[in-house]
A = this chain, B = another copy of it.
Amino acid sequence: MEKYKIYSAGKFIETNQILDVKNPFNKEIFAQTYLAGEKEFEDSVNAAIEAKQLMKEMPSYKKYEILRYVSDAFYKEKERLATVLSMESGKPMRYAIGEIERSAQTVLIAAEESKRIPKEYFSLDWTAAGKGKEALVKHFPVGLVGAIAPFNFPLNLAMHKVAPAIAAGNTVILKPARSTPLSVLEFAKIIDQTDLPKGALSVLPADRVVGNKIVTDTRFDMLSFTGSPEVGWEMKRNAGKKKIALELGGNAGVIVSEKADIEKAVSKCLVGAYAYSGQVCIHVQRIYVQKDIFDFFVKKFIEGTKLLKQGNPLDSSTEISVMIDEQNAVRVESWVNEAVSGGAKVLFGGNRYGNYFEPTIITNTKPEMNVCFSEIFGPVVTIEKYETLENAVKMVNDSQYGLQAGIFSDSNKEINYAFENINVGGVISNDIPTFRVDHMPYGGVKNSGFGREGIKYTIQEMTEARLLVRDF
Contact = CB atoms under 8 A, between A and B. Distances in A.
A237 B136 CA distance: 32
Given A116-B122, A410-B412, 4 more contacts: A121-B121, A415-B468, A426-B467, A452-B465
A472 B413 contact: yes
A151 to B, nearest CB: 22
What is the count of identical protomers in the complex? 4
Given A60-B123, A431-B471, A465 B439 contact: no
A16 B199 CA distance: 63
Interface of A: 59-61, 64, 101-102, 105, 109, 112, 115-117, 119-138, 233, 236-237, 240-241, 409-413, 415-417, 419-420, 424-431, 435, 437-442, 445-447, 450, 452, 464-472
Given A415-B412, A466-B419, A121 B124 contact: no
A417 B121 CA distance: 18
Nearest to A105: B127
When A and B form their complex, which 7 residue pairs have the shortest distance between CB atoms, in order from nearest? A426-B467, A430-B471, A121-B121, A59-B125, A119-B121, A130-B437, A428-B469
A241 B59 contact: no
Given A122-B119, A125-B59, A412-B410, A469 B440 contact: yes
A412 B417 CA distance: 13
17 contacts: A60-B123, A60-B125, A60-B126, A61-B128, A61-B131, A64-B126, A119-B134, A121-B136, A129-B435, A133-B437, A236-B241, A409-B412, A411-B412, A416-B472, A424-B466, A435-B469, A441-B467
Contacts of A411: 410-412
Contacts of A120: 121
